[in-house]
């Protein structure tokens, strides 16, 4: 059974946008995950955030994403089971995590779900540190 690396929006953006300050880190992490045979999981909320109109104006990004998709390590995780959890908790959690989005709260629900079996969460957002620590999930980088 492959290990699962759940990847946040900021990872995906940095993987494609060379101007992003984390671009090199994302490339290194992506290659490490592929070499270690992780399933690289893109939650649908992250895909909605990063596959936006800016993305589709860049043919080179589209081609690179097609390459990532064809390698077979990319898996998509439905947000259906986590939407209501995120919505119900966003008001209380937003008091602590002021810079998080509804998509972030959905991903926190995925991290907390023992059935998903996340091994690592890939993000540059420190707002996930506690939920990863409590659930015994390695946070990369």
- The CATH number for 12's domain is 3.40.50.1010
Q: How many domains does the chain have?
A: 1
Average predicted confidence (pLDDT) for the chain: 92
**Residue 127 banded pLDDT, cuts 50, 70, 90:** confident
For 15-64, how does the pLDDT look when each residue is reduced to its tens digit (9 = 90+)? 999 999 999 999 999 999 999 999 999 999 999 999 999 999 999 999 99
Q: How confident is the model at residue 10 (pLDDT cuts 50, 70, 90)?
A: very high
Query: What is the pLDDT averaged over residues 72-98?
Result: 85
pLDDT score of 94: 64
What whole-number distance in Å separates Cα of residue 104 and Cα of residue 82? 11
**Domain around 130:** 4-140
Q: How far apart are CA 98 and CA 92, in angstroms?
A: 10
Query: What percentage of the chain carries pLDDT values higher than 70?
Result: 96
Residue 100: per-residue pLDDT: 81
Q: How far apart are CA 61 and CA 69, in angstroms?
A: 12
Angle at CA 67, nearest 5°, toward 111 and 109? Answer: 10
Q: What is the dihedral of CA 26, 32, 33, 34, to 10 degrees?
A: 110
Name the pLDDT band for 98 (thresholds 50, 70, 90).
Answer: low
């Amino acid at each position: 059974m492959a290990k699962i690396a759940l990847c946040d929006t900021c990872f995906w953006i940095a993987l494609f946008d060379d101007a992003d300050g984390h671009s090199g880190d994302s490339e290194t992490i992506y290659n490490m995950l592929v070499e270690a045979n992780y399933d690289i999981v893109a939650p649908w909320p992250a895909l909605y955030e990063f596959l936006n109109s800016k993305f589709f104006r860049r043919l080179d990004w589209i081609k690179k994403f097609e390459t990532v998709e064809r390698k077979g390590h990319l898996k998509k995780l439905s947000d259906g089971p986590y939407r209501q959890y995120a919505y119900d908790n966003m008001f209380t959690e937003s008091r602590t995590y002021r810079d998080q989005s509804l998509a972030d709260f959905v991903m926190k629900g995925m991290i907390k779900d023992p059935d998903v079996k996340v091994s690592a969460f890939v993000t540059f957002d420190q707002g996930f540190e506690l939920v990863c620590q409590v659930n015994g999930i390695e946070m990369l980088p």
